[in-house]
Every structure is written in C-alpha cells, then in structure tokens.
A and B are shown apart, each in its own frame.
Chain A
Amino acid sequence: QITLKESGPTLVKPTQTLTLTCTFSGFSLSTYTMGVGWIRQPPGKALEWLALIYWNGDKRYSPSLRSRLTITEDTSKNQVVLTMTNMDPVDTGTYYCVHRLTTVPNTGGYFDSWGQGTLVTVSS
C-alpha cells in the first residue's frame, strides 16, 4: 500500500523560501518508472502541477514556476523535498505530494496516490 505524507511550515512570510518534505512508503523511488511529485491548489481553485522527480533522477518543473522550484530526493529516507523561493500571498494553498504511475514507459503518467495535503499560508 502506497502512502505519502507532506510536512512543512503552515505559515511563511512573503519573500521567504518554502521547504516541504514528502515522506512516502510502499514503493522505492529508484524502481523503474516510479515518480514523486507536487501539486498545489489555492483555496477554491483548480489543481496545478508543480514538479516531479523520476526513478532515474530526471526532474521536471512547471514552466511558469521553474525559476522558483527545486525538487530533490533522499532515497535512503524515502523522502522528496520541494523548495519554492520568493513566496507570495498568491502561493497560499494546499500542497499535495503525489505518486506518479505509468503503465507505458516514456509517457508522462498519472497520479494514483495522493498525500492528505498541507495548507500553506503566505502572509506577513
């Protein structure tokens, strides 16, 4: 059974850097085709994909946020970390960690398991 859990600050100030940690179990990120990513959702709004790290170390980022995001992994701890710089009130929302699944290599894949989400508020 795959589980994912997000952790990190609930409140950050504008211009600060947000660091979120996803701790997962039930799979190994080093296994072929695995991936772990981050998706966010502002209050009352739609889902927005942010970043994803793949089994082979490849990393992909949302083009609109690429300059502010970094995703890294600690395979020994079964953790994936997302950092987002220069936080702004518009970045307020629930941040989800997700497991990416694909049944066909070399396709993007979809998100079959989600963490419960963590609400991050950006305010001075």
Chain B
Amino acid sequence: DIQMTQSPSTLSASVGDRVTITCRASQSISSWLAWYQQKAGKAPKLLISKASILESGVPSRFSGSGSGTEFTLTISSLQPDDFATYYCQQYNNYLYTFGQGTKLEIK
C-alpha cells in the first residue's frame, strides 16, 4: 500500500496568514493527488485534483503543488471559512489512501 503522511497534524494560524500543509507519499505517485476540506459534521469537499488543478468554485487563495512523493497545499491569505481539517489522497493506482489529516485552527 502507498502510505500518505501529512504534516503538521495541527496548525494554528490567524486570519490573513499564509499557511502550507505538506503531504508525503511512501512512493512516487506522479501527480495523482487530491486535496479535500472537511468541516465539522460535514462531508469532505474536493478542493484540488492532479496535485494542482483547482476545482470549479474553489477560491484562488488555495493552491497545490508537487509531484512524485512531496506535495503542498497552500492557502495564501486565511479567511474565517478556511478553518477546517484538510486531507490529501493519492490515486496513483486503484487502492486509494488518505493522509491522516491536518486540522487548521484559529490562533
């Protein structure tokens, strides 16, 4: 199985901050990586596919980058609505795996 490791597990930040979440794969997954946002009590929402393709309707302050084994999700200027938990997911093959999540908290 391909293991996905996110860091940090928890991130405290303020409105307006620029934040970066990292996701590492245990082996190369090319660019086959998605990012999701999950708010408490809600289903996850797809933000980014193929490492850097922003889904329609997702604010441009979100961006993704990386390939191979190391990926990042960046929020350029945090807004109150962005405080949530974020997950990466690899789809290099037909055995899907998620990272353990990064909880973005208000400082």
Q: Residues on A close to B: CB < 8 A?
A: 37, 46-49, 52, 60, 62-63, 96, 101-103, 107-112, 114-117
Contact B92 A47 (CB under 8 A): no
Contact B43 A114 (CB under 8 A): yes
Interface CB pairs A-B, < 8 A, 10: A47-B44, A47-B89, A101-B49, A107-B91, A108-B92, A108-B93, A108-B94, A109-B91, A110-B46, A111-B44
14 new A-B contacts, CB < 8 A, other than A49-B89, A111-B34, A112-B49, are A46-B101, A47-B87, A47-B89, A47-B98, A47-B101, A49-B97, A52-B96, A60-B94, A103-B49, A103-B50, A108-B93, A110-B89, A111-B46, A112-B55
State which residues 62-107 of B face A: CB under 8 Å: 87, 89-101
* Docked CA distance A116–B92 (Å): 26
Interface residues on B, range: 20 to 34
Contact B43 A60 (CB under 8 A): no
On chain A, the residues within 8 Å of B87 by CB distance are: 46-47
**Smallest CB separation, B11 vs chain A (Å):** 16
Contact flag A111-B94 (CB < 8 Å), given A46-B100, A116-B43, A117-B43: no
* Docked CA distance A103–B31 (Å): 13
* Docked CA distance A48–B101 (Å): 11
On chain A, the residues within 8 Å of B100 by CB distance are: 46
* Docked CA distance A115–B95 (Å): 20
Contact A63 B34 (CB under 8 A): no
**Smallest CB separation, A22 vs chain B (Å):** 13
Contact A110 B49 (CB under 8 A): yes
**Smallest CB separation, A37 vs chain B (Å):** 8
**Which of A47, A62, A63, A107: most chain B Cβ within 10 A?**
A47
On chain A, the residues within 8 Å of B94 by CB distance are: 52, 60, 108
On chain B, the residues within 8 Å of A103 by CB distance are: 49-50
